[in-house]
Amino acid sequence: MKNYLALTALILTRAFAADTNTETKIKMKDLPVAVQNAVAGQRGNATLKGLTREVEDGTTLYEAEFKVNGRGRDVSFDESGNLVSVEEEVALDSIPAAARDAIKSRAAEGKIKFVEKVTKGSVMYYEAQVKTGRADSEVKVNADGSPVQ
């Protein structure tokens, strides 16, 4: 009986964890029609590299990964095709000096792999992927260099 209860608890724990944050690669035909239209509207002259469906804390989002002029651009939509967020790879030199200095300072001895301008609704910030030794981390700062809360 103990083994049955332990197994049941393990299954429920994994099911709950999977429900709170899962990402699955999908094809265009698997998207809701509204999201298909939204992806097509955002594509422009970009190359579509991939599509994913992500369930995070019970909310389903769809992300289209594009390449534009050699740079990454990820666009997320809700199930109705509404734009949720845009992550655009940018050159570190192109961002405001305060944000650039804060990223360099927080990256310390790590190597800045790339920087993205992230827009969620009316909120915009910069996110840098940093490699220190074998570990990857993120540094998120506002345009004024303050940490993203």
Q: How far apart are CA 11 and CA 18, in angstroms?
A: 10
Structure tokens at 33: 């029609």
**pTM of the shown model:** 0.81
Digit-coded pLDDT (tens) for 103-133: 999 999 999 999 999 999 999 999 999 999 9
111, exposed or middle or buried, with CB in 10 Å at 0-12, 13-18, 19+?
Answer: exposed
Taking only Cα atoms into account, the Rg of the chain, rounded to an integer number of angstroms, comes to 19
Digit-coded pLDDT (tens) for 60-110: 999 999 999 999 999 999 999 999 999 999 999 999 999 999 999 999 999
Q: Which domains does the chain have, with CATH numbers?
A: 1-86 (3.10.450.360), 91-149 (3.10.450)
